[in-house]
């Protein structure tokens, strides 16, 4: 489980327990000689903030049935970012809090992080010891005493990805436009914070999502991420607990307003937006049915979207694509067939258009979930889809269709609804 610096005590009882734990750690610092001078009040506040965030993470970790470890950052490059974007939880006070918990036997350090290469690192891992239960409510459902605050950075600008698929965050000056983008996110988060959203089956324990974050309904604070040092690239939303769940699990476990959910999504949105960009009419039928008989659809989908995102000709098969084609299929033949089938947009392949289309997609989703919130419909965004209660599915579909038609001038129906399998 990846450490979350945004976790805080939700109840007065937990806040008091954290304060007592902080005082115990401060006293141990003095008695053990680990610190020669007493901390100033401002330093005590920083230390207490680190202790609170660590305590809340450890409470959640203890509630996860699979028994994972907590990955905590220790590198100076991360804890002391030169661009000033480091979370206030981080700093020397954060490392001191970890060391103090370990020194008192309240956590066990499983592994200290180290570099595998210039780009890859193994994280530092910790877990709570049995003694920590004397200080914090580790038994389920103690995790319900934890909350998540909004990230100070509601909009994030990133560089392009490196060879390992990672992209560093970039500092940017505040402008009227960035303030507007942040206000949009703030309103969305305020709406989600007051919504009736639950995850079933959590009375005895929690589970971990595929993103390395705990699946819990308090994790509904979203941020918007832009790519390639370009405000016109990307803009997708991130941070929601539902984003780390498997598709079937979402249907099974998420409840909105006490109801099961429906998944309302755009079909073939990126290539359809490419047709709009090219000024061409929308094609009939399934855009990804390139072969004409439905065969290899997933492969054609992957290949087509890879060509929309590629900045130049594709040299290799996109990951997970070749397996969907007949044995012996050559990449150049597949690309030629795709370009012939979609000749009206063939000139857009290899131009890196995908991130611009993603920005259009994200703008549409922002408008949709904002409108739905204004009419009392809770919508959880998921790239080119929203999750809503079953009774609101058709209202969401109508709004999504209207947003596409208004934004593109096309009346082509491209919205589908999937209800929970019975």
Question: What range defines the domain where residue 220 resides?
Answer: 150-269+355-419
**pLDDT (0 to 100) of residue 162:** 60
Whole-number Å distance between alpha carbons of 378 and 240: 13
pLDDT of residue 370: 96
The number of folded domains in the chain is: 3
Residue 358 has a pLDDT of 96
Q: Are strands 107-111 and 415-419 parallel, antiparallel or unpaired?
A: unpaired
Looking at the structure, do residues 326 and 415 belong to the same domain, yes or no? no
Q: Tell me: the pLDDT tens digits for 131-162?
A: 999 999 988 778 889 999 888 889 999 988 76
Could you report the per-residue pLDDT of 392-409, keeping only the tens digit for each? 999 999 999 999 998 888
Q: What is the pLDDT of residue 381?
A: 97
Whether residue 77 sits in one domain with residue 116: yes
Q: Count CB-CB contacts under 10 A for residue 59.
A: 26
In a domain, 321, yes or no: yes
Q: Would residue 278 count as lying in a domain?
A: no
Q: How large a percentage of the chain has pLDDT more than 90? A: 73
Q: Is the torsion defined by CA of 77, 82, 87, 88 positive or negative?
A: positive
Q: Is 214 exposed, middle or buried (0-12, 13-18, 19+ CB in 10 A)?
A: buried
For residue 275, tell me if it sits in a domain.
Answer: no
Residue spans of the chain under pLDDT 50? 116-118, 120
Give the integer Cα–Cα distance in Å for 338 and 116. 40
Q: Are residues 71 and 127 in the same domain?
A: yes
Residues 203 and 156 in one domain: yes
Cα→Cα distances 97→8, 57, 60, 101, 264, Å: 15, 13, 18, 6, 45
As given in the structure block, the two tokens for residue 173 are 């000056």
The pair of structure tokens assigned to 14 is: 């937990």
Joined tokens for residue 297 = 């659809």
Residue 370 in tokens? 């904002």
* Same domain (yes/no): 376, 243: yes
- In sequence order, what are the residues at sequence separation of 6 or more whose Cβ sits closer than 8 angstroms to the Cβ of residue 123? 71, 72, 73, 111, 113
pLDDT given for residue 339 in this prediction: 96
Do 116 and 162 belong together in one domain?
no
196 and 60, same structural domain?
no
Domain end, chosen from 147, 174, 201, is at: 147
Q: Which of 147, 164, 193 is the last residue of a domain?
A: 147
20 domain residue, yes or no: yes
Q: Is the peptide bond before 118 cis (omega within 30 degrees of 0)?
A: no
Question: Over 29-97, what HEC string results?
Answer: HHHHCCCCCCCCHHHHHHHHHHHHHHHHHHHHHHHECCCCCEEECCCHHHHCCCCCCCCCCCCHHHHHH
User: Do 71 and 110 reside in the same domain of the chain?
Assistant: yes
pLDDT (0 to 100) of residue 113: 64
Can you give the pTM of this predicted structure?
Answer: 0.88
In a domain, 372, yes or no: yes
Q: What is the pLDDT of residue 116?
A: 47
**pLDDT by residue (tens digit) across 69-117?**
999 988 876 777 655 567 899 999 999 999 999 999 999 988 776 554 4
Q: Show which of 112, 129, 147 is a domain's final residue.
A: 147
Residues 298 and 324 in one domain: yes
Considering the domain boundaries, does residue 77 fall inside one? yes
Confidence (pLDDT) at 223: 94
pLDDT of residue 87: 85
283 in any annotated domain: no
Structure tokens belonging to residue 61: 């970790």
CA distance 33 to 37: 9
Q: Are residues 171 and 263 in the same domain?
A: yes
In a domain, 162, yes or no: yes
303 and 381 co-located in one domain: no
User: Do 321 and 234 fall within a single domain?
Assistant: no
Residue written as tokens 């909004």?
A: 150
Question: How far apart, in whole angstroms, are the C-alpha atoms of residue 354 and residue 365?
Answer: 16
């Amino acid at each position: 489980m990846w450490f979350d610096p945004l976790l805080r005590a939700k109840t007065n009882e937990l806040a008091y327990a954290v304060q007592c734990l902080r005082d115990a750690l401060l006293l141990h610092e003095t008695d053990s000689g680990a610190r020669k001078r007493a901390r100033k009040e401002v330093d005590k506040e920083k230390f207490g903030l680190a202790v609170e965030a660590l305590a809340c993470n450890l409470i959640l970790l203890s509630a996860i049935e699979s028994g994972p470890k907590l990955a905590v950052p220790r590198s100076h490059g991360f804890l002391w970012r030169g661009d000033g974007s480091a979370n206030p939880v981080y700093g020397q006070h954060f490392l001191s809090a970890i060391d103090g918990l370990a020194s008192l036997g309240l956590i066990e350090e499983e592994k200290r992080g180290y570099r595998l290469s210039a780009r890859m690192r193994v994280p530092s891992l910790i877990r709570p010891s049995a003694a920590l239960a004397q200080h914090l409510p580790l038994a389920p459902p103690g995790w319900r005493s934890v909350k998540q605050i909004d990230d100070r950075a509601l909009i994030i600008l990133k560089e392009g990805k490196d060879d390992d698929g990672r992209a560093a965050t970039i500092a940017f000056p505040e402008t009227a436009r960035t303030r507007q983008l942040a206000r949009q996110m703030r309103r969305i988060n305020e709406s989600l914070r007051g919504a009736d959203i639950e995850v079933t089956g959590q009375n005895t324990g929690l589970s971990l999502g595929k993103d390395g974050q705990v699946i819990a309904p308090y994790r509904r604070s979203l941020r918007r991420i832009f790519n390639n040092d370009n405000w016109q690239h990307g803009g997708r939303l991130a941070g929601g607990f539902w984003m780390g769940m498997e598709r079937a699990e979402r249907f099974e476990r998420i409840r909105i307003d006490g109801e099961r959910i429906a998944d309302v999504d755009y079909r073939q949105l990126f290539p359809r937006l490419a047709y709009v960009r090219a000024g061409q009419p929308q094609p009939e039928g399934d855009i990804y049915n390139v072969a004409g008989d439905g065969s290899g659809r997933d492969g054609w989908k992957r290949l087509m979207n890879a060509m929309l995102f590629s900045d130049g000709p594709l040299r290799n098969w996109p990951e997970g694509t070749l397996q969907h084609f007949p044995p012996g299929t050559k990449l150049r033949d597949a690309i030629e067939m795709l370009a012939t089938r979609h000749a009206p947009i063939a000139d857009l392949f290899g131009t890196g258009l995908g991130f611009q289309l993603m920005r259009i997609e994200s703008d549409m989703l922002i408008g949709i979930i904002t409108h739905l919130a204004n009419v009392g419909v809770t919508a959880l965004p998921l790239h080119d889809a929203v999750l809503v209660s079953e009774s609101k599915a058709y209202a969401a579909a109508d709004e999504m269709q209207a947003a596409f038609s208004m934004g593109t001038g096309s009346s082509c129906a491209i919205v589908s609804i999937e209800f929970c399998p019975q």
